[in-house]
Amino acid sequence: MIAIIDYGMGNLRSVENAFKSIGYPVTITRDPGKILDSSGIILPGVGAFRDCLKNLKTYGLFKPLYKFIESKKPFLGICLGLQVFFEESEEFGRYKGLGILKGRVVSLPQNRVKIPHMGWNTIKIRKKCPIFEGIKDFSYFYFVHSYYVIPEEEEIIATTTDYGVEFTSSIWKDNIFACQFHPEKSQKLGLKVLKKFGEICQRNAG
């Protein structure tokens, strides 16, 4: 079973429905035991960085998240679920993130482009990543965000996207996959990415 972490924010149902449409059973939960027992977890997110961290702490989800990452089982972060894994964000001030990945979250250049970045945009593949198997360079995915991550470790960058600046649109490090775009809103190619993540979870469980 794949677990979608319920921390009181995010587009949980649309992610759940996307996985169900491709035949993978998922459960929405904030139960630490279920999270740790799952074959893979997804942290979706829509909203403010500080509120996400506050809710994760309120529901006691920090420890299960850290333990799950240490277990080397597959993790998928979506949008805000990518950003919170870094050390800090400048959204509405300065707020500490989970610090699992080195780097920070900064604003898109407001003097150059319309904020938020909302709609379809292309990805440039920087390194081969298992969840992008079969995805071509410059494929279109759906974005909704005003901030982006700057990883200290450039080798974890899987794809980049141009929107006033060339920003990191997905990362891959060990068992951690995370993307700034929304695969659950990206139609056929987005479902292909989610299906690949499901296959990785299935292999890991087997």
Chain-centroid distance of CA 54 in Å reads 18
DSSP letter for 135, please: P
Q: Which of 16, 129, 145, 184 is catalytic?
A: 184
Our answer to whether residue 133 is catalytic in this structure is no
Residue 106: C-alpha distances to residues 17, 93, 153, 167 (Å) = 31, 11, 16, 10
Residue with tokens 């139609």: 187
Tell me whether residue 46 is exposed, middle or buried, using C-beta atoms within 10 angstroms of its C-beta: 0 to 12, 13 to 18, 19 or more. Answer: middle
Specify whether 79 is catalytic: yes
Residue 184 a catalytic site member: yes
- Of 52, 79, 129, 179, which one is the catalytic site residue? 79
Options 52, 91, 182, 201, the catalytic residue: 182
> How far is 147 from 99, CA to CA, in rounded Å?
17
Active site residues: 79, 182, 184
